[in-house]
Chain A
């Protein structure tokens, strides 16, 4: 198998999936995705093994480790999605990205510059993971979840954004005999409501470019547009937006490619004294 020469590569190491996009002469040449492996570094190396590239950028939650090991630069998901969206939809002014474990909303200035952003912290409420879990308790494969929700009616509401509590609500609604389609619709509406609030906080006005894996759910875009009162546009391969943005940023001539941020080591994770020391019996 011959090696493929490309200009630049973007690698998006997310919590659920890894995407790789390679560009040459301003066009996408390669698109690859895989479920994030425990040893994602090795996985990324394999995904890149047949590519010859001049520059690369890592993004996503695994960006610093990959950047360090491959000797490349890193950008945050926020910047990467903004860059991707700005190319997919020239003139884009607002972006919503819902990925496996987080949600980001941002507004863009000219040239895809991020003006303001919001991001959920701590928990995966209202993200891809939320749909994985709740679809399962509805007995619906994730691929069909959007279609199911589209066929539902607004008869009930899910009040909890917490994945665990929402699952309990789903079980309760099901036992009351509410049709699965209506429950699916309610789940979509609750996530859309939260995303719309985030978009309001960043001051989004006008069309929203909706990216990330959850944008594949056709019901989401429709319900979101209604809840947010804004037109929503979904690119053809929404989950590749981050990797695409990283690839495009990598393709720009820019000095000092190496990631200035070292990966967080264990000491930083353990943090200040703590958690253990004041506990009973301590």
Chain B
């Protein structure tokens, strides 16, 4: 269906032949990972449609909004408060990138041993393959890990980029700093859109984003059933699409999916037989189309029942307090909520250990696959603390570190199969 969008893509400066090949490969991989699954929930049809049209329909919506004077803001991390973007009248898209695309170009700027997430967003940009990034009027980065922090300095030469500071600890001085950064971002967004962020506007945005979070929380809870009503691949996809779909429509689709899953659970129907080994994946984000680990894990005869990850529960666990009355109180509520995020960039980060254990218990997982992207120090190093804690709780853990390439899938599969065998 590329044809109808060519005009738009050309207008966004994409490299059309290369982009065409990308979509073909993506389509093939999607069929292999997703459409090959047996007994998928019918409501996943919405996600299939979104994926089939991944660079089309939603980009067209964003372009139409831009034609009416709305702005589009791209983000790379769950620390950037989406509510502010929406309250300023802009649309927000998450740009995390999960494909080994344009790495040759990216490596002209970045060291080879850079985390694939960072390399990927550069690759998409430099190889002119991401219509979402091209449609953004502003990219908002953050000072989380060093790789990203320094990469945004380079990105600023390629696209309008704004960087907000995220502290590395959660003491009162850090909170004050983040509070100030949230205010500064609000100003920058107002300057971009020419619209004031009002208490009513922000409260509305808070309610909208909370609704989406609640829908995703409901999905997370349903996965606690045995047999699991939905595969980990499908649930990951839902969490991935959450970052760029229209929030209102997406929330409706997730609620519909949950209704169907509820009926499945009541009927004792699942994607894998009851008693199938259940695993929690914990760690770094897996962005579209990085389905490598769930594909291998579920190919090894296990089912994934939760993602302790930014594309997963780190994004949906906490709600913003809706009771706040004025703008200042709303901004405080945002700060409180965002500082609860337990990213490995923080020190200390003990809350994360509690959350992993809590998720294992709630999802009734038999073990944890700790996932770090290659060259990601925060998660790779924190894995040792997660292991210690899980050891004490008697929860088995397998630690893996991998990137977006396919060269290690066989070795990865062997380790994951062996881990699954140890659970039996």
Partner-binding segment picked from B155-163, B292-300, B314-322, B355-363? B292-300
* Distance in angstroms between the alpha carbons of A268 and B294 in the assembled complex: 12
Contact with A along B387-422 (1 / 0, CB 8 A): 000000000000000101111111111110111011
A282 CB → nearest B CB, Å? 4
Given the contacts A78-B421, A267-B32, A277 and B411 also touching, CB distance less than 8 Å = no
A234-282: which have CB < 8 Å to B? 260-262, 264-265, 267-280, 282
A271 & B411 in contact (Cβ 8 Å cutoff): no
Min Cβ gap B411→A in Å is 5
Interface string of B276-315 (1 = CB under 8 A from A): 0000000000000111100100011100000000000000
Report if A89 contacts B (CB, 8 A). Answer: no
Interface size on A, residues (CB 8 A): 35
Q: Are A278 and B101 in contact (CB under 8 A)?
A: yes
Q: Is the CB of B290 within 8 A of A272?
A: yes
Tell whether B102 is near chain A: CB-to-CB under 8 Å.
yes
| A277 and B129 alpha carbons, distance in the complex (Å) | 9
**For chain B, what secondary structure do more than half of its interface residues adopt (helix, strand, loop), or is it mixed?**
helix
* Across-interface contacts of B404 in A (CB, < 8 A): 271-272, 274
Do the beta carbons of B29 and A267 come within 8 Å of each other?
yes
Q: Which of A117-125, A144-152, A212-220 lies at the interface?
A: A117-125
Q: Which residues of A contact B419 (CB under 8 A)?
A: 117
B90-127: CB near A (< 8 Å → 1, else 0) gives 00000000111111110000000000000000011011
> Which partner residue on chain B sits nearest A270 by CB separation?
B406
Min CB distance, B104 to chain A, in Å?
A: 5
Question: Which A residues between 97 and 149 are near B, CB-CB below 8 angstroms?
Answer: 102, 113-115, 117, 119-122
Which of A120, A267, A270, A277 interacts with B127 by CB under 8 Å? A277
* Cα(A97)–Cα(B412), bound, Å: 17
Q: Considering the chains assembled together, what is the distance between the CA atoms of A105 and B418 in angstroms?
A: 12
Chain B residues with CB below 8 A from A102, complex form = 411
In the complex, which of the residues A119, A268, A271 contacts B405, with contact meaning CB atoms closer than 8 Å?
A271
Is A78 within 8 A of B418, CB to CB? Answer: yes
Whether the Cβ atoms of B15 and A122 lie closer than 8 Å is: no
**29 A–B contacts, CB within 8 A, in A order:** A75-B421, A77-B414, A77-B418, A113-B422, A114-B421, A121-B402, A122-B411, A267-B28, A267-B31, A268-B406, A270-B29, A270-B406, A271-B29, A271-B292, A272-B26, A272-B29, A272-B99, A272-B406, A273-B21, A273-B25, A274-B25, A274-B404, A276-B21, A276-B25, A277-B21, A277-B22, A277-B25, A278-B103, A278-B127
